Amino acid sequence: MKSDPKKLKITVMLGGSGAEREVSLRSGAGVAQALRSLGHEVCEVDPGLEKWVLPKGTEVVFLALHGTYGEDGTVQRRLEELGVPYTGCDPEASRIGFDKFLTKQRLVAAGIPTARVMLVDSPAASWPMGWNPPVVLKPARQGSSVGLQFVERVSDWAKALAEAMRFDSHVLMEEKIVGRECTVGILDNHPLPVVEVRPKTGVYDYQTKYSAGTTEYFCPAPFDEETTARIQAAGLGAFSAIGGRDYSRVDVIVKPGGEPVVLEINTLPGMTDSSLLPKAAAAAGIGYPDLCQRMVDLALNRSRKEP
């Protein structure tokens, strides 16, 4: 798809009031700089600071928000009401993708391989029958590994559950899958080269994601063609299962036998200098400014087709 050479008035929404505010500010700053380098007029709006209004003449909104409000369908619904094109998934796909349990239900229904899971809704919940450690606890509606807890022993349960529940009233308890951590970027409904993530500490948590020098990245990931195709198919299948559009990033664990297991879907993936979607795009020959332009083009092309 060719980039639209037309110079546009673009509003980048960044920041917000959620737990991922700082990362969103970094994503938005990178996007704004890239779009300005292409000659666009770019305004920045931070919905976390005040009741926001779009600058007059905004032709398209680039959503560089992460987490609550930005990624859960809320801002998307507001932009739909305003009739302004915006990047990324629609409100419903955003809502499902942000809620890890709803995502799991869609994955299971679509036959996409994913980890065994149950939902915990009480901080006083005891260790459930029929489960053995190790397990992973995740707040149902957070991103960037916010609140992620690993439970290696039953005796660790109460403390880990209390910590995870600081970030949401519902927590996923998931079997811990051992394997290679990977992610599949999706752009224009096509999978990008797989990125393998190897944290030097062994755990790819919030701190590791956004601290320089703590993680090694391999892209394209060193898998054989057949395994790579399976990983990409799982990522694209997950994206389709939630009704995704334009772009996303799907996190996957690859078991030793080469079987991919989908963990979650990021409908507004990070766009910082250490983020994985830009790395995958670069491996496909798509530089950062061009990636941002393509995201804008997808939003505009869609809006032109709508009656």
Average pLDDT over residues 274-285: 95
pLDDT over 90 at 271, yes or no: yes
Nearest to 267 by CA among 117, 113, 90: 90
Reported as a pLDDT band with limits 50, 70 and 90, residue 202 is low
Regarding whether 216 and 104 lie in a shared domain, the answer is: yes
Q: Does residue 256 belong to any structural domain of this protein?
A: yes
Q: Which of 151, 175, 199 is the last residue of a domain?
A: 175
Nearest to 146 by CA among 255, 23, 292: 23
Catalytic-labelled residue, pool 24, 27, 94, 144: 144
273 assigned to active site: no
Q: Does residue 239 belong to any structural domain of this protein?
A: yes
251 assigned to active site: yes
Regarding whether 253 and 226 lie in a shared domain, the answer is: yes
Q: Does residue 45 belong to any structural domain of this protein?
A: yes
pLDDT over 70 at 207, yes or no: no
152 assigned to active site: no
Q: How many CA atoms lie within 13 A of 57 on its CB side?
A: 7
Do the beta carbons of residue 268 and residue 70 sit within 8 Å? yes
Distance CA 55, CA 269 (A): 24
Average pLDDT over residues 208-218: 68
Reported as a pLDDT band with limits 50, 70 and 90, residue 208 is very low
Q: Does residue 293 belong to any structural domain of this protein?
A: yes
Distance CA 181, CA 254 (A): 7
Reported as a pLDDT band with limits 50, 70 and 90, residue 2 is very low
Catalytic-labelled residue, pool 249, 275, 288, 297: 249
pLDDT over 50 at 210, yes or no: no
Regarding whether 195 and 131 lie in a shared domain, the answer is: no
Percent of the chain with pLDDT over 70: 93
Catalytic-labelled residue, pool 30, 143, 147, 270: 270
Regarding whether 238 and 293 lie in a shared domain, the answer is: no
Regarding whether 269 and 222 lie in a shared domain, the answer is: yes
pLDDT in tens, 138-161: 998 876 577 899 999 999 999 999
pLDDT over 60 at 1, yes or no: no
Which residue segment(s) compose the domain that 78 sits in?
Answer: 9-87+287-305
Q: Does residue 246 belong to any structural domain of this protein?
A: yes
For residue 110, the model assigns a pLDDT of 97
Distance CA 232, CA 301 (A): 25
Regarding whether 189 and 151 lie in a shared domain, the answer is: no
Regarding whether 236 and 109 lie in a shared domain, the answer is: yes
Regarding whether 100 and 148 lie in a shared domain, the answer is: no
Average pLDDT over residues 214-220: 90
Average pLDDT over residues 8-24: 92
Q: Does residue 4 belong to any structural domain of this protein?
A: no
Q: Does residue 3 belong to any structural domain of this protein?
A: no
Distance CA 275, CA 251 (A): 13
pLDDT in tens, 113-129: 999 999 999 999 999 99
Percent of the chain with pLDDT over 90: 82
pLDDT over 90 at 200, yes or no: no
144 assigned to active site: yes
264 assigned to active site: yes
Regarding whether 108 and 251 lie in a shared domain, the answer is: yes
Q: What is the dihedral of CA 50, 51, 57, 63, to 10 degrees?
A: 80
132 assigned to active site: no
Q: Which CATH number goes with the domain that contains 221?
A: 3.30.470.20
Instruction: Classify burial at 65, counting beta carbons within 10 Å of its beta carbon; exposed 0-12, middle 13-18, buried 19 or more.
Output: buried
Regarding whether 277 and 143 lie in a shared domain, the answer is: no
- Which one is predicted more confidently, 185 or 305? 185
274 assigned to active site: no
For residue 177, the model assigns a pLDDT of 94
Catalytic-labelled residue, pool 71, 72, 99, 251: 251
pLDDT in tens, 27-67: 999 999 999 999 999 999 999 877 899 999 999 999 999 98
Total domain count, the chain = 3
Q: Which CATH number goes with the domain that contains 55?
A: 3.40.50.20
Regarding whether 189 and 163 lie in a shared domain, the answer is: no
Q: Does residue 134 belong to any structural domain of this protein?
A: yes
Average pLDDT over residues 19-24: 89
pLDDT in tens, 62-98: 999 998 899 999 999 999 999 999 999 999 999 999 9
Regarding whether 206 and 220 lie in a shared domain, the answer is: yes
Mean pLDDT, the chain, whole residue set: 91
Q: Which CATH number goes with the domain that contains 133?
A: 3.30.1490.20
Least confident of 184-193, 198-207, 210-219: 198-207
